[in-house]
Chains A and B, each alone.
Chain A
């Protein structure tokens, strides 16, 4: 009940904030939304919205610094041209860093304006100390394991039975003493149990049958978890400790770094790729301090791997590759392609990897079992099938085949085009 209340409260809040936001943003409804996206895709890598310098300068109060908005548009579009044109402010700030800012000549003016709008209207998010994710997780753990509860109850019952047995024995002896029958010999619990079993063979048989059956079925289900790193249903989770306490939350969540910035192979290769140390160094050359001392120490590990001497600002030490622990393990006999799912299938990263923007250490949230794959392939329609000429004839034929089905059942899911056949993944 409590959780339901909480949820509805959350929905209520969300609804109101949405209303509030839409009212607030109605001055410039589309702009800022797009601006945020464009900013995160293009700018967030080098610029923070605060004061701190990443690769480029922090953008807090940037509108007060630059001559005017028109100038800023020109600067973002092609800072190189602006510097070369001899613009005084441009020349002045060009001395900011050794590396020049990327030019965005291919970005339309409207987009850049949207970004500027976003920067202008940006309000830093209010820091929530206990976020909802952590809050929801904590009581769940306190609930305790049903198995411990069960064992506790059983132990309690055993104690009660033992006590009652003792009481019964004493009472009987007491009664026997009164009636003059010689005292009943004290029989061990086990002997008594055996005697009872002998006299109640059917019940014993049925109970044993149930116990064996129960163990076998438990064994059968346990076997299904062999080789499975995580299974949300059985609360099996895989969250290995990593050599560097890298936080996805800080990077992908708080700083909104695009997933593809680090996992750049995701649309080009079968593997998304773990970022190489030089990718880390793109930003961490500038960011040497973490949010805490521990964070700073972790960043120092990157420098160690890259052979970077932060004092001399030089790559002067030997390089040491980082040995990450693989979180998402697929067996060797499965062929899985990220580009197939992300580029063609247009799937979100979170569908399989969970919401990493809230995860500190990455963990496996989906079971990655074949059943899980197949369930998804049965339920997911192929996006963009209509518009992709590759599917043209197939789409026509499928439409013809299923034309008699009601509209809501006429879904061209992956399995309809052979997406659950053995040979599609196993070769």
Chain B
């Protein structure tokens, strides 16, 4: 943060000539170096000879080592008056809510001795269903971000001066009253009814106030399309769990689109197979970039950006042909065959299907609405009666505001939870317009890109320090409560909740907590019928964190709803469905289709996307998220251009083949903006398209860029353009220019294929239905006694497991590769952040990684057919299929082998086996030979090459920051240099769970112990439990599910972690691939599936 300047003293402030001179001298006094070196007689005269030197050396070494033997005196300082709810050593849990204007999640927060240390999903929530995402998990670290402002600041000239709230309130109060022109409050989506009421109060005090909602990632086009179709500008709720067929057109609904945690949970419910359930949904994805959602799809069709709208139109026509309906003007596409198949599947499941599009183009969304209308999905898989409120950004209003500001008609702008200088399209020239506003106030918690251009920054509390309420969906409410006293709490300076600041400015000195209660008394309480008095209702809501108020009561309490509508249009009166349905028919889709068809593609088209970790860039200063590898490219600490390897070959860029980290740097120009970025081959990227992630290149996000030495990535937001009044996240014509520069990228996985081995076992649904063990062949070994199962051969004796026998099973069918578990593990186990350079040396410390494998065109069968030699075959196997590979994800952590290869090679028995089946690691015993890591077949052991907690080269590691250190889990050791570490299966949680059961004198049950990865998983892909307990879920799964297998079982290592075969609802079997898969076969398997 260059905006803040600290003086070393008055001398520096005054900048007197003496001071300047002395400041330029490195040493306060002249060091007599020359005199010293020039004196030839020095050795004779000084009286110190070599022997004396050795004596001194010996003495000091002895003294130092003796001093080290002394035991330190530790102080213990108890509270003077202990808060009633705190018992040192015992965690308290509070229900709260995460919402940053982009992601929503109902959470519970674990606090120890009054400081939050971990976030977990709230299972009471009917929206996020106990799931979290990587971004939600990492938000705990944002609380302890030392880049946050510690109090209000005002700008004079180019410097920021600390101020007090009294002064700020007085100054701003005066300026607001005197503001010439309108006052505008610019925010990201606000789903808090009380915040909206506060803004309304403010608007009542200053009548020329207008509230404008602007989202960096906008769904404005969708809302506008719904306005056309149903007369209401809303975004509906989706029920993926009710859909048997899902067709996505560029909508990354598992990672980013609308409400990804909710949808991932719903989606996974339709994807689970097992005993008594051998059906699963079919998911077809049309997209340009290979997204997380596309990677999980049963069928994925790469299409160009310009074609995505046309896919919707052609799908409309294809469905219309089957279900009967008028068709729209269309143009033919290369993927019409796939579209026809998708239409066939969809029409077979009328009312149980779902078509969604990620486009922000109103026309495309209208056509998609039309398809869903034809398929009778409204009221079934799509709920417009209970709209979602999480994305309310209005692109037109924002563009109007920018124009208004540019014309100088705006007197004051208050920005809250938004960063338009960074996120808005370059064409709008927001920064220029913003500078023309007379009074610029920001509520940002740091001097970010927008706030640093303001005159006042009135920093808001972090959400974990605040009271707030949320209404993510109609009838769903949740609360957030402070889990810590504001870190920068001071009487008159310090941070202050933005709502309270607004309340003060509108003349209300009440605290926001009381205000929320007032709002809830008036609006939320009357909607429920469960509790008889408000206090009871409030306390229970606060305890549960998330509530669903009775449906249908809103109608009965019409008066209440209406009053709410005035100030907080979050409870919208919705027309009955019957009325809504015909509304769609009235809309003329043909003009929309014509507009879509008129879109002309270019040779290179650009599609912007959000990464799972960084998202829209809100948490750009969060090292946990920067170090989380992208689930698809596996690259950390960067954004880059993704491009089809075929296109790259043609253009002659470096292909990063075979573990090569070097990549060509290109200049990409689109929409009048040029960026210099490295290019990464992305198998599955549609030919003629490139992708760039937004959310990077934040030069004013905080201290991270200072500490790592450079800003992470480049800002791709300026590429966004306004098209037909909405923002389009891409460009239809981009040009690439090779700068002939080479850079290196930090990928955590540089081996992209399984090389013909069955590490991830896979089958297709039709095969699975015939034989649940399909795809899960037993590994056989040839021995002198004939061919036997690998699992039956054992060099060692079986372990005795008298007490517990821990086991973990991971369902590869449910795992979507989102990485929430990786961040959760980082937070729980104090895993160090190592930075880009170390990741490039494969020294990342994540205990849990998610391996991503692409299918390869080269298989052993193909080699046999073509007669290719073994060496060439294996070389080719390293290359993934370029056009459209199948993608599988596999969470990989220590497998806790029962016959662990690591244990036998440790010379100091630092890693050893416990009686309950865990491979334990005693850090203090480890001497760092790294033999264990070399002998580990899974490469899950991590070595501390440096003391990341103290080494000045790694200041970005949270443990090196006084604030950041507060996030550490006190129950887990912070490892030092020279020590091996790895997944402990959250042994601290195991011990804790056991202890609870012992104390309560009862048997241990599954719910006592949940590992961090298991808890955070939005799709419930991970089970953990006691294999000696017949009733535990893991035991039952392993006994009953034929998909259960162990990786590298043939090595005889007997892992504790097992996996369940991935089942894809695809047409071709995996082995057949596209080489031998015939259409006849497809038809057959198809019919069986849906019979």
B777 at the A interface (CB under 8 A): no
Please, which residues of chain B bring their CB within 8 A of the CB of A337?
A: 991, 995
Give A275 to B916 CA distance when docked, in angstroms. 37
Residue of B nearest to A327 (CB): B76
Residue of B nearest to A228 (CB): B71
Contact A268 B90 (CB under 8 A): yes
B7 at the A interface (CB under 8 A): no
Of B68, B78, B915, which contacts A321 at CB under 8 A?
A: B78
A255 at the B interface (CB under 8 A): no
Q: Which of B79-87, B177-185, B599-607, B856-864 contacts A (4 or more CB under 8 A)?
A: B79-87
A240 at the B interface (CB under 8 A): yes
Contact A423 B918 (CB under 8 A): yes
Of B80, B81, B994, B999, which contacts A320 at CB under 8 A?
A: B80
B74 at the A interface (CB under 8 A): yes
A38 at the B interface (CB under 8 A): no
Of A271, A343, A394, A423, which contacts B88 at CB under 8 A?
A: A271
A289 at the B interface (CB under 8 A): no
Of A268, A276, A324, which contacts B75 at CB under 8 A?
A: A324
Q: Which of A284-323 contact B (CB under 8 A)?
A: 305-307, 319-323
Of A227, A325, A388, A426, which contacts B923 at CB under 8 A?
A: A426
Give A397 to B76 CA distance when docked, in angstroms. 43
Report the minimal beta-carbon distance from A188 to chain B, rounded to whole angstroms. 25
Of B922, B988, B1003, which contacts A422 at CB under 8 A?
A: B922
B984 at the A interface (CB under 8 A): yes
Give A427 to B76 CA distance when docked, in angstroms. 23
Of A275, A332, A344, A398, which contacts B995 at CB under 8 A?
A: A344
Please, which residues of chain B bring their CB within 8 A of the CB of A319?
A: 80-81
Of A227, A392, A417, A423, which contacts B802 at CB under 8 A?
A: A417
B1004 at the A interface (CB under 8 A): yes
Interface string of B66-105 (1 = CB under 8 A from A): 0011010111111111100001111000000000000000
A270 at the B interface (CB under 8 A): yes
Report the minimal beta-carbon distance from B361 to chain A, rounded to whole angstroms. 53
A265 at the B interface (CB under 8 A): yes
Interface string of B882-922 (1 = CB under 8 A from A): 00000000000000000000000000001010111010111
Residue of B nearest to A423 (CB): B920
Q: Which of B417-445 contact A (CB under 8 A)?
A: none
B973 at the A interface (CB under 8 A): yes
Give A239 to B1008 CA distance when docked, in angstroms. 40
Report the minimal beta-carbon distance from B1083 to chain A, rounded to whole angstroms. 53
Interface string of A374-397 (1 = CB under 8 A from B): 000000000000011111111001
Known: A228-B71, A423-B987. A269 touches B89 (CB 8 A): yes
Of B80, B90, B920, B971, which contacts A335 at CB under 8 A?
A: B971
Please, which residues of chain A bring their CB within 8 A of the CB of B69?
A: 225-227
B723 at the A interface (CB under 8 A): no
Report the minimal beta-carbon distance from A393 to chain B, rounded to whole angstroms. 7
Contact B74 A329 (CB under 8 A): yes
Contact A423 B914 (CB under 8 A): yes
Query: Interface majority SS on A: helix, strand, loop or mixed?
Result: loop
Give A354 to B701 CA distance when docked, in angstroms. 55
B126 at the A interface (CB under 8 A): no
B539 at the A interface (CB under 8 A): no
Contact A333 B80 (CB under 8 A): no
Residue of B nearest to A343 (CB): B999
Contact A426 B922 (CB under 8 A): yes
Please, which residues of chain B bring their CB within 8 A of the CB of A320?
A: 80
Contact A276 B995 (CB under 8 A): no
Please, which residues of chain B bring their CB within 8 A of the CB of A340?
A: 995, 998
Contact B73 A390 (CB under 8 A): no
B924 at the A interface (CB under 8 A): yes
Known: A321-B78, A335-B991. A421 touches B915 (CB 8 A): yes
Please, which residues of chain B bring their CB within 8 A of the CB of A278?
A: 79-82
Contact B71 A329 (CB under 8 A): yes
Please, which residues of chain A bring their CB within 8 A of the CB of B912?
A: 421-422
Query: Interface majority SS on B: helix, strand, loop or mixed?
Result: loop
Please, which residues of chain A bring their CB within 8 A of the CB of B73?
A: 240, 325-326
Give A333 to B981 CA distance when docked, in angstroms. 14
Contact A276 B1001 (CB under 8 A): no
Contact B999 A305 (CB under 8 A): no
Q: Chain A: how many interface residues by the 8 Å CB criterion?
A: 60
Please, which residues of chain B bring their CB within 8 A of the CB of A269?
A: 87-90
Give A422 to B919 CA distance when docked, in angstroms. 10
Please, which residues of chain B bring their CB within 8 A of the CB of A423?
A: 914, 918, 920-922, 984, 987
Of B71, B88, B972, B991, which contacts A424 at CB under 8 A?
A: B991
A273 at the B interface (CB under 8 A): yes
A53 at the B interface (CB under 8 A): no
Give A264 to B78 CA distance when docked, in angstroms. 13
A101 at the B interface (CB under 8 A): no
Q: Which of A234-282 contact B (CB under 8 A)?
A: 238, 240, 264-265, 268-271, 273-279
Give A264 to B86 CA distance when docked, in angstroms. 12
Please, which residues of chain A bring their CB within 8 A of the CB of B506?
A: none
Give A390 to B1005 CA distance when docked, in angstroms. 10
B597 at the A interface (CB under 8 A): no
Known: A226-B69, A343-B999, A423-B984. A325 touches B74 (CB 8 A): yes
A186 at the B interface (CB under 8 A): no
Q: Which of A133-184 contact B (CB under 8 A)?
A: none
Report the minimal beta-carbon distance from B68 to chain A, rounded to whole angstroms. 8
Give A228 to B69 CA distance when docked, in angstroms. 9
Please, which residues of chain B bring their CB within 8 A of the CB of A333?
A: 923-924, 973
Known: A226-B69, A401-B802. A273 touches B915 (CB 8 A): no
Please, which residues of chain A bring their CB within 8 A of the CB of B75?
A: 323-326
Contact B988 A335 (CB under 8 A): yes
Q: Which of B460-506 contact A (CB under 8 A)?
A: none
Report the minimal beta-carbon distance from B980 to chain A, rounded to whole angstroms. 13
Please, which residues of chain A bring their CB within 8 A of the CB of B530?
A: none
Interface string of B497-518 (1 = CB under 8 A from A): 0000000000000000000000
B875 at the A interface (CB under 8 A): no
Residue of B nearest to A315 (CB): B81
Contact B987 A417 (CB under 8 A): no
Report the minimal beta-carbon distance from A337 to chain B, rounded to whole angstroms. 7
Contact A422 B925 (CB under 8 A): yes
Give A270 to B971 CA distance when docked, in angstroms. 10
Give A427 to B985 CA distance when docked, in angstroms. 10
Contact A390 B1001 (CB under 8 A): yes
B275 at the A interface (CB under 8 A): no
A118 at the B interface (CB under 8 A): no
B1028 at the A interface (CB under 8 A): yes
Contact A273 B78 (CB under 8 A): yes
Interface string of B993-1021 (1 = CB under 8 A from A): 01101110111100000000000000000
B550 at the A interface (CB under 8 A): no
Of B68, B76, B80, B1001, which contacts A324 at CB under 8 A?
A: B76
Contact B924 A426 (CB under 8 A): yes
Contact A421 B76 (CB under 8 A): no
Give A392 to B73 CA distance when docked, in angstroms. 44
A29 at the B interface (CB under 8 A): no
Please, which residues of chain B bring their CB within 8 A of the CB of A228?
A: 71
Give A422 to B915 CA distance when docked, in angstroms. 11
Residue of A nearest to B1026 (CB): A393
Please, which residues of chain A bring their CB within 8 A of the CB of B994?
A: 390
Contact B87 A273 (CB under 8 A): yes
Query: Could you tell me which A residues sit within 8 Å of B by CB distance?
Result: 225-229, 238, 240, 264-265, 268-271, 273-279, 305-307, 319-326, 329, 331-333, 335, 337, 339-340, 343-344, 387-394, 397-398, 401, 417-418, 421-424, 426-427
Query: Could you tell me which B residues sit within 8 Å of A by CB distance?
Result: 68-69, 71, 73-82, 87-90, 802-803, 910, 912, 914-916, 918, 920-925, 971-973, 984, 987-988, 991, 994-995, 997-999, 1001-1004, 1028
Q: A329-B71, A332-B973, A394-B802 are in contact. List 5 more A-B contacts (CB 8 A).
A: A265-B90, A273-B89, A278-B79, A344-B999, A421-B914
Q: Which 10 A-B pairs have the closest CB atoms?
A: A423-B920, A269-B89, A418-B915, A422-B922, A326-B74, A271-B89, A276-B82, A270-B89, A319-B80, A274-B78
